[in-house]
């Protein structure tokens, strides 16, 4: 979906740039668009206000669980209302969707992008379903982007004591460039999310280093933008390196959830007798907004 801008000469809204355009522009300038997950309206306000303050495009992400909580059609309407009111490039992604039905539901509802997450499937089955999702998107008549995932990085958005079982961080076990190239060629996806040392959640004691060389190899092999999932906990230097190597979108979730929780705890501690949600929720919203602003500055350097 494109962002409407008012044209004073014609007296109507025009649609100059889509999410696809913004991603291409970011990649060309070796920058990345921030993708932040939300579960509540406070989170959407935090993301939109931070992006507006910095005059940057941004992507609001909702996983299957987050969509179930907010409502698929409701989140589309909310994000569209922000675009219309603020005239800012705020986009919506159906994050980590594990079924063809979930993908088609998001496309039909008007999402700007969707990811089919077949990372735990066999390579052949992942290709089969991802390709089917791409074909549906093309038939929809919209410019919705389809992202595929190749390489398992976990599913948790928590503080973890160790790397989860099944997550591959060793150099030989990460997404292989030749398989990524075959995956892209077979499916015709617009974006690819590989395993390059990234992990969902935050590891106590520090996340493993990202493999910037592998990112570059995958970028050169596939020639499409790369999406870095699980970037909470990664260093700014590592993220900068991956962006220079081909990452065009960076996902952050766990750090936002931490900020939200800590913001609420502080609000309850400072005002134990407060009963009005809009008063104590403000602290959580501002805590999230601070995280989004800090991340967007890293991604746009």
Convert the pLDDT of each residue in 10-30 to its tens digit: 343 344 689 999 999 999 999
What is the per-residue pLDDT for 232? 80
* Average of per-residue pLDDT across 120-142: 96
What is the per-residue pLDDT for 185? 98
Residues 255 and 232 sit within 8 Å (Cβ to Cβ): yes
CA dihedral over 94, 38, 60, 80, signed as positive or negative: positive
Convert the pLDDT of each residue in 23-58 to its tens digit: 999 999 999 999 999 999 999 999 999 999 999 999
Convert the pLDDT of each residue in 118-130 to its tens digit: 989 999 999 999 9
Please check the confidence at residue 168 and state whether its pLDDT lies above 90.
no
* pTM summary value: 0.90
Residue-averaged pLDDT of the chain = 88
* Average of per-residue pLDDT across 207-222: 90
Q: From the candidates 95, 112, 117, 207, which is the catalytic residue?
A: 95
3-state SS class at 90: strand
For the domain made up of 18-299, give the CATH fold. Answer: TIM Barrel (3.20.20)
Q: What is the biggest distance separating any 2 CA atoms in the chain, rounded to whole angstroms?
A: 60
Determine whether 95 is an active site residue.
yes
Selection from 228, 186, 213 nearest residue 61 by Cα: 228
What is the per-residue pLDDT for 166? 60
What is the per-residue pLDDT for 209? 72
């Amino acid at each position: 979906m494109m962002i409407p801008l008012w044209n004073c000469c014609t007296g109507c809204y025009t649609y100059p740039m889509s999410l696809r355009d913004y991603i291409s522009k970011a990649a060309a300038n070796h920058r990345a668009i921030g993708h932040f997950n939300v579960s509540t309206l406070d989170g959407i306000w935090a993301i939109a206000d931070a992006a507006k303050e910095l005059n940057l495009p941004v992507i609001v992400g909702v996983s299957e669980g987050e969509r179930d909580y907010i409502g698929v059609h409701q989140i589309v309407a909310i994000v569209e209302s922000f675009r219309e009111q603020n005239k800012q490039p705020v986009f919506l992604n159906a994050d980590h969707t594990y079924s063809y039905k979930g993908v088609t539901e998001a496309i039909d509802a008007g999402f700007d992008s969707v990811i089919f997450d077949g990372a735990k499937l066999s390579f052949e089955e992942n290709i089969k379903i991802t390709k089917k999702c791409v074909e549906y998107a093309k038939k929809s008549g919209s410019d919705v982007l389809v992202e595929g995932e190749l390489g398992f990085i976990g599913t948790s958005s928590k503080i973890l004591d160790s790397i989860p079982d099944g997550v591959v961080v060793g150099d030989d076990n990460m997404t292989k460039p030749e398989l990524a190239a075959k995956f892209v060629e077979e499916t015709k996806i617009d974006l690819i999310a590989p395993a390059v040392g990234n992990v969902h959640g935050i590891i106590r004691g520090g996340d493993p280093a990202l493999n910037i060389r592998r990112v570059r190899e995958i970028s050169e092999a596939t020639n499409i933008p790369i999406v870095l999932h699980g970037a909470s906990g990664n260093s700014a230097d590592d993220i900068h390196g991956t962006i220079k190597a081909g990452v065009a979108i960076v996902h952050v979730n766990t750090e936002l959830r931490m900020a939200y929780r800590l913001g609420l705890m502080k609000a309850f501690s400072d005002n134990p007798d407060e009963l009005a949600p809009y008063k104590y929720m403000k602290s959580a919203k501002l805590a999230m907004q601070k995280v989004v602003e800090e991340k967007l500055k890293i991604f746009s350097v």
